[in-house]
Amino acid sequence: MTQKLIIVESPNDEAFIRLLLTHLSITNTETATIHPTEIEHLHNFTSSDGKLKRGKDALPEKIEILKRELLIRYPQLRHIAIILDIDTPKSSNGGKEKSLQLINTSFLKAFNISLNLTDTSTKVSTNVTISSETIHLEVSCFFVGDETGEGNLDVVLKKIAKHPCPECECLEIMNECVGQKTGSPMRDFTKQWVNYYLRSQASKSQLKDAEKRLHEVITDNGEILFDLHHPFLHEIKEYLQLE
């Protein structure tokens, strides 16, 4: 029975975390996504205050859904781990402080508790009450990004790509060119880079579905396309081993 649930933003995030869990031989852990596909616009929704919610903005609603799932789906659950892209501090829920605040606010809204989560990779204990049932829970979080405290999973994947990729090198040259001509880099450059990398490694049959379900070609014929021993993964691997 699942004792730990890891909540991530998207299926790509989920596929990567599952890869790491297998690599670390971690069992009794399930993963869940805030959004079920990468096609974001399908799952955006407008909240009652008129705001369009996308990506991790929907964490409060996901945590409220978790309230029922603690009773009906995960009866043994005791640890909720939340892994979010840290994004840029300029965005509405970006950066470490705002991401922590988002998690605390989500639990306050769903369970009416002050979680007081103040740092990443550290568990806090709390009791939540759902319809007369009191459940002891531990909650922790980890934010994915680069060394400067910005970015997302794509930044990590780019760093740990195992094979050379001529297409990616061309894309980098293009990015430089775009930067020179427009004064700013290509939009979603890192995301595009990872897409090109995955496509360059995929077999023809995988490529047919690659654009729709890129997360499924992270491994090709059993070979892992990323260096899971890369030092950059040290922190997240330690976090995943937090029981």
Interface with other proteins (CB under 8 A): 34-36, 42-48, 53, 58, 60-62, 64-65, 67-73, 75, 130-133, 135
Give the nearest distance from C-beta 135 to other proteins in angstroms. Answer: 7
CB of 63 to other proteins, least distance (A): 9
* Nearer residue to other proteins within complex by CB, 22 or 47: 47
Closer Cβ to other proteins, 72 or 173, answer by number: 72
Nearer to other proteins, 73 or 123 (CB): 73
Query: Residue 70 or residue 155: which is nearer to other proteins going by CB?
Result: 70
CA–CA gap between residue 120 and residue 239 (Å, rounded): 9
Q: Please state, in angstroms and rounded to a whole number, the distance separating the CA atoms of residues 239 and 243.
A: 9
Pick 122 or 129: Cβ nearer other proteins: 129
Nearest distance, CB of residue 21 and other proteins, angstroms:
22
- Min. distance of Cβ 46 from other proteins in angstroms? 8
CB of 199 to other proteins, least distance (A): 27
> Based on CB atoms, which residue is closest to other proteins, 112 or 221?
112
> How near is the Cβ of 131 to other proteins at its closest, in Å?
4
